[in-house]
Structure 1
Amino acid sequence: MSTINYSEKIPNNVNLGEDRTLQRALEGWQPNFIHWWDDVGPEGSTNYDVYLRTAVSVDPNGWAQFGHVKMRDYRWGIFLNPGDAERKIHFGDSLGEKAWQDVPGEHRANLRRIIVTQGDTEPASVEQQRHLGLTCPSQYDLRNLFQVNVEEGRHLWAMVYLLHKYFGRDGREEAEALLQRQSGDQDHPRILGAFNEKTPDWLAFFMFTYFTDRDGKFQLSALAESAFDPLARTTKFMLTEEAHHMFVGESGVSRVLQRTAQVMNELKTDDPQKVRAAGAIDLGTIQRYLNFHYSVTIDLFGADQSSNAATFYSSGLKGRYEEGKRTDDHVLKGQTYKVLEVQNGQLVEKDVPMLNALNEVLRDDFIKDSVAGVSRWNKVLEKAGIPTRLTVPHKAFNRQIGALAGIKLSPDGRVVSEAEWAAKKSEWLPTPEDFAFVASLMGRVVEPGKFANWIAPPVMGINRQPVDFEYVRFG
């Protein structure tokens, strides 16, 4: 078991105390991080004692302990999965060679860019979610939000450690910049578009943690294959925490659907206005939120054809999802993959070199995984006897990046005119009225065991605690 040293100022399992220069640099960054947390972290939460999970080892069988802690005092730290001195590179042009323990000079700029981009998403989501605690539907949900927040904070630490340890002065400057950009800021926005969107309400939060944190799962899985061993070991541990974020999203939407179905059955109606009048979220609004978050998230995978993606793979910097389970040659030269483009007003498939289509390969893996979860949501409706089903829109719907950017397409995959798009957009994507309605439901519920009217309670509590456990103690 690889345990974590909590006696140090910065908890870690990387023997930080043996590198005094690095330790001092990170201890210098630490107050800036706390200042950022106080400034744009969860609003109004400073004196709360929150029932949080803290990693105590990177061993998958016993890596977490639970207890009430003030978030500001959470023991953020630097945790890598155990190393393997014999690990080999298993894809790209260096297939079969030993994994790198340091950054090869020729890959320095690309690796730094990958780490900075990943690192930038972590504080961004904390900033996007900072107001949500003020409108929580229950203590259980408030605790889950805060657990997601502190783990995003720890993922930021993970990337900052790599920047400080392996990239010298450039890395230190990039680490500072990660705290200077801010989600949605006009002058210093976050790097990726989805991380500058607002998360205005809890339905948006559940969709974000289901879809956008799932993008995180696939990006981290691709980086966990990296020939740069410290990055691979770091992201493997981050994946353990990412699973909880997706659980929050999937179970959150399930509970919203459960409550909506209950109201529809009680009133014997599928009329959205009657469902809304009863204080539940109608299925049309849930579908529109799904369409928006799904389409914004699949843009995060980047352009359908990318020379950068080819370079990252061939160089060994970033593999595919579950690279080791694939049965091809792991070099991919001469192989092709189908991507979409529009010709004469129609969507058509065309074969392109697979190396250039690796963003699309990862996007398609994500889509398959997302669709499976939406099927589980539909089982909630099926079990309640509701005939409506949620659907995932076509992958070319509402795209802003790549060959499909700006194409006007219906959720079922038809290319439509500007006029039809303008007429139907309010059926396909959330409207200002939808946001206003959902916002009107967002009253704060913090009495243990009580839940807002628009969401069902969970089946069980956290860490075998009862659902009405005091998950948050308000100072």
Structure 2
Amino acid sequence: MSTINYNETIPNNVNLSEDKTLQRALEHWQPNYLNWWRDMGPNGSLNHDVYLRTAINVTPEGWAHFGHVKMPEYRWGIFLAQAEENRKINFGESKGRDAWQDVPGEHRANLRRIIVTQGDTEPASVEQQRHLGLTAPSQYDLRNLFQINVEEGRHLWAMVYLLHKYFGRDGREEAEALLQRNSGDQDKPRILEAFNEETPDWLAFYMFTYFTDRDGKFQLNALAESGFDPLSRTCRFMLTEEAHHMFVGESGISRVIQRTCEVMRTFGIEDPEQVRAKGVIDLPTIQRYLNFHFSVTIDLFGADQSSNAANFYTSGLKGRYEETKRDDDHLLKGQSYRILEVAGGSLVEREVPMLNALNEVLRDDFIRDSVAGVGRWNRVIEKAGINFRLSTPHKAFNRHIGGFANMRISPEGQVISEAEWLSKVRHWLPSEEDRAYVASLMGRVIEPGKMANWIAPPPVGINRQPIDFEYVRFN
């Protein structure tokens, strides 16, 4: 079914009404979700009418409807991409067999773990961003924040559906726990450390949506290859929504850079303190934010070598990014991959079995994709005629997971001493003063078409609307 039924309490395209037990269980979970949204969702947004897109179809043609929706009356639901007829498993020991329509008993624990971990990231990002609406630089940006928030909420629904339908009592308990953990909570934090970090300002938000939502793109693509067909179909549709989240990040940073460059050219200044005095964000501070969010995000891919990643692949549960486009046997036994480690005071390459290095394979795919976007930011700086270039730091820099955990590596990839790290870290990562300065710029702008001083307007509006369209109606 490609069309989504909005006549039911829970919108869906999975014929939910035909499974009364499942329907009742999810309708029991729904009030708890709405309570969580009111308590932990976007702060102060309950009476706003927001110009949101809502999925009405899971095919690419005309899949979304745009219109003002009162929050939290957004219709969250369960949407799976269309089934592929006679779909096969494309990798691992079950390669060539029919894709599973139910959970194979021997993979039950691992599949549940994968789904819970992915599901936990979705409400976490909403919690991390819940205060940002109070300091939005424009109505356009406020609307984009809310769009991301409601879609992350829907992605939570996607994982909760799988838990309820395929994992019985264990799944129902896991679904409840997804609402009980909270980002940054001392007693019940989110599973992955990056989702317990604060997102205190809009520069951090743009970096998060560029880098951390890009991690989501790669993780979801790897899960979309899964031999468990319901998970694959769920992730394929989630990817349709995820693209906008990364667009918000890439375009947001681009607009910040554009405004900074405009001020630098207008006043003929380059010194960061002089740039700050004009109320915009200096380029070295943007680089430090980039370094932080890049390094935190690549930790999300896990340890450089992982037996779990090997087991997930061999079992057919989680593939590689664009698995079917790769020209190999899709078994990987006997194949190797080069990873980095520290030896003799420097970084050296070492070959390890590829199956054990699949986290690193996905991390490297992510890094290549991230670098391309940074290149587009640099073209904004080049066009302004300013001699400054942004760059991603070395992948060993500022790591807290894997072989480089807590090792001191410079952004250029040099192994350094603790003393040198302490003397230079404020030039590499945002300092308290950096964050305080950026925070000082965060003042809410809600007049249609107006922008905060530190960011340029977007080139086009949402869904062909003008920039000064009333994206949010404040009631």
Q: Deviations over 1:81-128 (max 9, x none)?
A: 111240000100000000000000000000000000000000000000
Report how many residues are paired: 475
Aligned equivalents of 1:357 and 1:252: distance in 2?
A: 33
Q: Unaligned regions of 5+ residues in structure 1, if any?
A: none
Matched with 2:87 is 87
In the alignment, which residue of structure 1 is the partner of 2:448? 448
CA distance in 1, matches of 2:379, 2:395: 23
Counterpart residue number, 2:102: 102
Tell me the residue number matched to 2:431.
431
Query: Which residue type is aligned with residue 351 of structure 2?
Result: D
Q: Is 1:395 the counterpart of 2:405 in the alignment?
A: no
Paired residues for 1:344-359 under 5 Å: 344-359=344-359
The equivalences for 1:35-74 within 5 A come to 35-74=35-74
Q: For residues 161-216 of structure 1, give each alpha carbon's deviation from its aligned partner in whole angstroms, at most 9, with x where no partner exists.
A: 00000000000000000000000000000000000000000000000000000000
Whole-Å Cα distance in 2 between the matches of residues 409 and 219 of structure 1?
26
Asked if 1:23 is matched to 2:29, the reply is no
Counterpart of 1:335 in structure 2 is: 335
Secondary structure class of the residue paired with 1:403: coil
Taking the TM superposition and a 5 Å limit, the aligned residue runs for 1:266-285 are 266-285=266-285
What CA deviation, in whole Å up to 9, does each residue of 1:346-403 have, x standing for no partner? Answer: 1111000000000000000000000000000000001111110001000000000001
- What amino acid sits opposite 1:97 in the alignment? R
TM-score by length of 2: 1.00
Aligned to 2:461: 461
Residue 376 of structure 2: aligned partner: 376
Q: Which moved more, 1:1-10 or 1:96-105?
A: 1-10
Partner of 2:415: 415
Superposition deviation, residue 269 in structure 1:
1.2
Q: Distance between the aligned counterparts of 1:139 and 1:243, measured in 2? A: 21
Give the secondary structure class of the aligned counterpart of 1:96: coil
Partner in structure 2 of residue 13 of structure 1:
13
SS at match of 1:6: coil
Q: What CA distance in whole angstroms lies between the structure 1 residues aligned with 2:92 and 2:136?
A: 46
Q: Tell me the amino acid that sits aligned with residue 251 of structure 1.
A: S
Looking at structure 1, the residues matched to 461 and 412 of structure 2 have their Cα atoms a distance apart, in angstroms, of: 38
- SS in structure 2 opposite 1:364? helix
Secondary structure class of the residue paired with 1:175: helix
SS in 1 for 2:22: helix
| Residues 284-325 of structure 1 deviation map (CA, whole Å, 9 limit, x = unaligned) | 100000000000000000000000000000000000000010
1:158 matched residue in structure 2 = 158
- SS of aligned partner of 2:82: coil
Q: For 1:419 and 1:427, how far apart are their aligned partners in 2?
A: 14
2:244: which partner in 1?
244
Following superposition of structure 1 onto structure 2, how do residues 195-344 of structure 1 map, counting pairs within 5 Å?
Answer: 195-344=195-344
Distance 2:203 2:356 in 1: 36
1:114 matched residue in structure 2: 114
Gaps in structure 2 of 5+ consecutive residues: none
Aligned residues: CA RMSD: 0.5
Q: Please report how far the alpha carbon of residue 6 of structure 1 lies from its aligned counterpart in structure 2 after TM superposition.
A: 0.4
Measure the CA separation in 2 of the matches of 1:180 and 1:69.
27
SS at match of 2:262: helix
Query: Could you tell me how far apart the structure 2 residues matched to 1:404 and 1:436 are?
Result: 29
Task: Give the CA deviation at 1:61.
Answer: 1.3
Separation (CA, whole Å) in 2 of partners of 1:345 and 1:408: 11
Partner secondary structure for residue 403 of structure 2: helix
Identify the range of structure 1 (439-448 vs 84-93) with the bigger mean alpha-carbon deviation.
84-93
Q: Kindly state the Cα deviation for residue 155 of structure 1 after the two structures are TM-superposed.
A: 0.1
Counting aligned pairs with the same residue, the percent is 78
- For 2:393, the aligned partner's letter is P
Taking the aligned partners of 2:286 and 2:365, their CA distance within structure 1 comes to 24
Q: Helix, strand or coil: the match of 1:402?
A: coil
Q: Where has structure 1 moved over 3 Å in runs of 4 or more?
A: none
Confirm or deny: 8 A CA contact 1:71 1:150 kept in the other structure. no
Q: Which residue in the other structure is 2:168 paired with?
A: 168
- Counterpart-to-counterpart distance in 1, 2:24 and 2:153: 20
| Structure 2 Cα separation of the partners of residues 208 and 288 of structure 1 | 13
The Cα offsets for residues 22-60 of structure 1, whole Å up to 9 and x where unpaired, read as: 000000000000000000100000000000000000011
Shift of 1:267: 1.3
Superposed displacement of residue 140, structure 1: 0.2
State whether structure 2 residue 181 is matched by structure 1 residue 181.
yes
The separation in 1 between residues aligned to 2:66 and 2:421, in whole angstroms, is 50
